[in-house]
Amino acid sequence: MFSLAASPALARAPAGACRLAATPPPARAVSAAPRPKAVRPLPRSVVISRADDTVEGIPVSGPGAQPDPADLKQVVDAAERVPANITQDDFTAFYGILQAQSAEEAAGKVTELVDSGRLTEGVVEAALTTLTKAEQKGEPDEVIQTLRAVFEYLLEAYAYVSAPPSLDAVDDVVRRLGDMEQLKEKDEMKMSDEQFEDNAVKEAAASAEITLEQFRTDVNKFLASMEEQDAGFEDQVKQLLSQPGQDTPEQREQLDQMREMRKGAKEQMARVSGILGRCIAA
C-alpha cells in the first residue's frame, strides 16, 4: 500500500495490488519517504523475516504451482523489452524468484538479493512492469496472482532495507511510546509522559546517529510526502472501484482498513514531530 514519493515503482503501484497481510505496521506505513537507491546494511534476516506471514502466499512456478512456467517467462520477456531504465540484471534477478520451486525458496532468493545488495529499485520496477504488462494483455489469473504476490513481497523487502536512518528512528520512537503505554497500564511509570517522550526521541536519534534538528526535518518531510500520497491513493481507489466487479463490500472494507492504517501512521509521525519540536525548543 506503499507509494514512495521518489520511487517510480511505488508511485505507480495500484491500490488494489497490495494485500493487508503485506502491510507494514503503522509506523512503517510511512514508507512514503524518499529513499536512496543504494541499499544500506541492515540485519538482513530480520528484514526478510518481517514478511514471513506472507511467504506462504507467494505462488511460484515450480511443481504444484498454478501458473505455467512458460507463461511466466513469456510475460517477463515481453516486459523486458519495454523500459529503458531497468537493466537486464534487474529482470534476471526478478525472473530468478519466479523460477523458485516453493514459496520458501522464493523468499530465500529475495534474502540472497538483500544480502548481496542486489535488491534495488530496479528489481522492484522490473516486477511492477511485468505485472502491469501482464494485466494489460489479459494474461491468465494465476499468472497475474503470482506476479502480484512476488511484486508485493519485493516491495515490502525493498522498503525495509532501503529505509533512511531517520525512518528507523521513527520506528524506534513509536516502539518506545508503546512501551510507555504498557508501563502506564501497569502503573509502573517512574517519570512524566513528557520526560519519557523526550527521552524516547533523544535516544532514538542518538542510536540512528542523527541530530534532533535533522530528525525533525526528515519527519516533517515524511509528513508532507504522506499528505501527497493520500491524495494519490484516493485517485487510485477511484480508478480501482470504477473497474467492473471491483466495487464490492469486501473491497470497500479492505480499502477502509487501509485508510485507517494510513491515518494512524500519519498521526504517529505528527506526534513524533511534536515531541522533537518540544525537545529542540527546550
Kindly report, residue by residue over 103-127, the tens digit of the pLDDT: 788 888 888 998 888 888 889 988 8
Q: Judge contact between 97 and 124, C-beta under 8 A.
A: no
- pTM, full prediction: 0.55
Number of domains in the chain: 2
Residue among 220, 243, 182, 172 at smallest CA distance from 25? 172
pLDDT at 168: 86
Q: How far is CA 25 from CA 132, 171, 205, 219, 275, in A?
A: 27, 9, 20, 17, 21
Q: What is the pLDDT of residue 114?
A: 86
- 207 within domain boundaries: yes
Same-domain pairing of 73 and 88? yes
Q: Are 180 and 191 in the same domain?
A: yes
**145/175 same-domain check:** no
Residue indicated by cell numbers 514508507: 31
Within this chain, do residues 152 and 172 fall inside the same structural domain, yes or no?
no
Largest CA distance in the chain: 64
The set of residues, in sequence order, having a beta carbon less than 8 Å from that of 180 and lying 6+ positions away, is 189, 193, 196, 197, 200
Residue 115 lies in a domain: yes
110 is a domain residue: yes
Give yes or no: residues 144 and 44 share one domain. yes
The domain boundary, picked from 130, 162, 194, lies at: 162
Q: Which residues of the chain have pLDDT under 50?
A: 1-65
Q: What single letter denotes the amino acid at residue 71?
A: D
Q: What is the dihedral of CA 51, 53, 57, 59, to 10 degrees?
A: 50
Same domain, yes or no: 181 and 128: no
Tell me whether residue 17 is in a domain.
no
Same domain assignment for residues 180 and 82: no
In a domain, 18, yes or no: no
Residue 151 shares a structural domain with residue 179 = no
For residue 46, what are the domain limits? 36-162
89 and 157 belong to one structural domain? yes
Q: Cell for 128?
A: 511492477
Helices (H), 28-164: 44-49, 52-55, 69-80, 88-98, 103-115, 121-137, 141-161
DSSP state of 215: H
Last residue of one domain, picked from the residues 103, 138, 162: 162
Q: Are residues 198 and 235 in the same domain?
A: yes
Question: Of 162, 181, 202, which residue is a domain's last?
Answer: 162
Residue 167: predicted pLDDT? 86
| CA 166/CA 163 separation, integer angstroms | 8
| Residues 62 and 157 placed together within one structural domain of the fold | yes
pLDDT at 103: 79
**Which pLDDT does position 26 carry in this prediction?**
31
Q: What's the CA gap between 180 and 72, in Å, rounded? A: 49
Domain identity same for 192 and 280: yes
**Alpha carbon of residue 268 to chain centroid:** 17
Are 110 and 151 in contact, with CB atoms under 8 Å apart? no
265: left (phi > 0), else alpha (psi -120 to 50), else beta?
Answer: alpha
Residues 12, 149: contact at Cβ < 8 Å? no
Contact 189, 200 (CB under 8 A): no
pLDDT reported for residue 245: 86
